[in-house]
Amino acid sequence: MLAVGTQAPDFSVYDHNGNKIGLKDFRGRKIALWFYPKADTPGCTMEGQGFRDAFDRFDEKDVVILGVSLDTPAENRAFAEKFSFPFPLLCDVQREISSAYHAVKGREDKYAARITYVIDEEGKVLEAMEKVDVKTHARDLCARL
């Protein structure tokens, strides 16, 4: 995990809608960057639904939600549409973000670890969560921010 207080690595990847998204696009806002192993699997769905259900509360606190997986744009698009996710799912097929944020150990990893970072308005790591409960993670995180 990246250390709290360190500069969050910049990135630039496509989301499930084909939009190029970079960390710098959100300067001045907090970011909840949640990594999930595989689109449309039970745990990832439960976690994503938690972020979806708390989306308005995160938005009121000016917190951007970005999901990240190694899934393709088509897989993430289907996942987002099936469960009406109102936030971008970043398609880290080249493992750029997952490597920089220690969500994968190497290129051979098939899935990202289930971890979350909170990045502050200046782009520094505010929180690094290595263990999360998919049932309560989004609600607990939102309550703390």
Per-residue pLDDT of 34-64, as tens digits, reads 999 999 999 999 999 999 999 999 999 999 9
> Given pLDDT bands bounded at 50, 70 and 90, which one contains residue 107?
confident
> Given pLDDT bands bounded at 50, 70 and 90, which one contains residue 122?
very high
Per-residue pLDDT of 85-98, as tens digits, reads 999 999 999 999 99
**Taking the domains of the chain in order of start, what are their residue ranges?**
12-144
- Average pLDDT, whole number, for the chain? 97
Q: Is the four-CA dihedral 75, 17, 96, 118 of positive or negative sign? A: negative
Residue 140 has pLDDT above 90, yes or no: yes
pLDDT value at position 34? 98
Catalytic residues: 44
> Given pLDDT bands bounded at 50, 70 and 90, which one contains residue 103?
very high
What are the beta bridge partners of residue 15?
90
CATH for 12-144, options being 3.30.70.270, 3.40.309.10, 3.40.30.10, 3.40.50.460: 3.40.30.10
Full-model pTM: 0.97
